[in-house]
Amino acid sequence: MAMSASTGDLGPPPAPRALSRQDARTLALAALGGALEFYDFIIFVFFTSVIGQLFFPPDTPDWLRQLQAFGLFAAGYLARPLGGIVMAHFGDRTGRKRMFTLSVFLMAVPTLLIGLLPTYETLGYAAPLCLLGLRILQGAAVGGEVPGAWVFVSEHVPERRIGFACGTLTAGLTFGILLGSLMATAVNKAYDQEALLAFGWRIPFLIGGVLGFFSVFLRRWLAETPVFEEMRQRRALVKELPLKAALRGHGLSVAVSMLLTCVLTAGIVVVILMTPTLLQKLYGIPATAALEANSLATLSLTIGCVSAGLLSDRFGASRVLSIGMLAQLGATYLLYRGASATPEHLPLLYVVTGLCVGVTGAIPGVMVRAFPPPVRFSGLSFSYNMAYALFGGLTPLLVTLLLKASPMAPAHYVAGMCALGSLIALFLPALSRRAQHQSE
């Protein structure tokens, strides 16, 4: 088992070079396309209350309806490993760009169909079943998109700028969350509850489907990664199943990447995706106020992701994660305490918390460097998607159940994951040295 250097089987790294204009263009296009695709995937969570009312029997208790809606949201996460493993297999065999384009196309189709889907009133129980199927398709698409995007941008930039590249791409993905939050805010302001239930909720999904097809067009301008082209020319592509090679030879990398993904899910899923709905339920904060604050927090999150990536290139991921996780822990508690005691300070509290959650931007660079190029896509995709399926998909259900015991349950959950992240960060240098020694 080895946490391999990023150059892996390709020999010594190339001479250091600066970030070129072409690198910047690739990063910008990849991040923009990722933002549009991630918008398609997460817009669902901002309308879970409405979807719960429309796609389940009207006599269902409110708490059960909310739980079922979050269950549909979780289904997308549970489907991610299958899509990720299949796309990663071909990404390691036939090229990164082809799968990078396919994933966004597979996201656009079900998003558009959700916007056109009849509700329970028309289809009965077939409505939630159809919605479940479309969420599964979305999950399979994003399972290939996120790890594929990290691999794609990291193989286009110099080795010493991998942290910045992955942080920028992660910022693009989180900007998709911001687009979703802004869209949800606009729809809630434009329509009253009756109009929202009648047709307003469909608008974000229909727009998302169109934006998804625009993303497909954007990615036609991207080139295959130089790292993969070199492997192809040298015939250095893995000859066996890439996933099998990754699991057999890089078990330590898989374990560390899965644990880091668990940490990443806490900040994104709980603090950014779930909190707007939870603030409404727990403290009676109006939907528009919660969503406006969330938009500001997500904007600060994008800044935090880029900053964390830059800092990890400069000072090392271990230091950045150690300090950043403590900051995220404290900020999350302040957010939930403040939302209860001083709701007028919610925007400021949420902005600070979003900036602290940006420490997650340092995590992808660690995971990319953990695997050598021939199995990088498969190793990273398996680790990330399996962990996200278990923890990202089940987190909303778990937090919802824990809320019965304490309104601070979301903060407690985030605190536990931050503690895990800080612990992993302390051992990253030792794990890296051990892995390098094992691979020699």
Task: Look at residue 14 in the predicted model and tell me its pLDDT.
Answer: 45
> Which contiguous run of DSSP H or E holds residue 13?
none
The answer to whether residue 405 sits within a structural domain is: yes
Spell out the residues 6+ positions from residue 133 whose beta carbon is closer than 8 angstroms to its own: none
CA dist list (Å): 224 to 13, 28, 219, 220? 19, 15, 11, 10
Do the domain assignments include residue 16? no
Q: Phi and psi of 82, rounded to 5°?
A: -60, -50
For CA atoms 69, 72, 78, 81, the dihedral sign is negative
pLDDT for 6 beyond 50: no
First CA to last CA distance, the chain? 12
As a whole number of angstroms, the distance between CA 178 and CA 38 comes to 10
**Model confidence over 314-332: pLDDT tens digits?**
999 999 999 999 999 999 9
Question: Could you tell me if residue 56 is inside a domain?
Answer: yes
377, part of any domain: yes
Average pLDDT, the chain: 86
Q: Which of 12-16, 289-293, 298-302, 424-428 has the least mean pLDDT?
A: 12-16
Asked if residue 270 lies in contact with residue 394, where contact means CB atoms within 8 angstroms, the answer is no
Rounded Cα–Cα distance for residues 355 and 328 (Å): 8
User: Which among 140, 137, 120 has a CA at the least distance from the CA of 128?
Assistant: 120
Q: Is the pTM of this model over 0.95?
A: no
223: left (phi over 0), alpha (psi -120 to 50) or beta: beta
Q: What is the pLDDT of residue 130?
A: 92
Percent of the chain with pLDDT over 70: 93
Which backbone phi and psi does 327 adopt, to 5 degrees?
Answer: -65, -40
The whole-number pLDDT of residue 13 equals: 43
pLDDT class of 112 with cuts at 50, 70, 90: very high
DSSP track, 34-70: HHHHHHHHHGGGGGHHHHHHHHS-TTS-HHHHHHHHH
CATH value at residue 314: 1.20.1250.20
The DSSP letter of residue 240 is S
* 12: pLDDT strictly greater than 70: no
Residue 335's domain spans which residues? 21-237+249-439
Sign of CA dihedral 206, 207, 210, 216: negative
- pLDDT tens, position by position, 21-59: 788 888 888 888 888 888 888 888 788 888 888 888 887
Which among 175, 180, 31, 148 has a CA at the least distance from the CA of 83?
A: 148
Sign of CA dihedral 243, 247, 249, 252: positive
Considering the domain boundaries, does residue 6 fall inside one?
no
State the burial class of residue 106 (Cβ atoms within 10 Å of its Cβ: 0-12, 13-18, 19+). buried
Q: How many CB atoms lie within 10 A of CB 197?
A: 14
Domain count, the chain: 1
Query: Which has more pLDDT, 77 or 88?
Result: 88
Would residue 12 count as lying in a domain?
Answer: no
Encode pLDDT of 113-124 as tens digits: 999 999 888 988
Asked whether 180 and 2 are in contact (CB, 8 A), the reply is: no
Would you say residue 407 lies in a domain?
Answer: yes
What CA–CA distance (Å, rounded) separates 203 from 54? Answer: 15
Q: 3-class DSSP state for residue 280?
A: helix
Let me know if residue 2 belongs to a domain.
no
Tokens linked to 395 = 């987190």
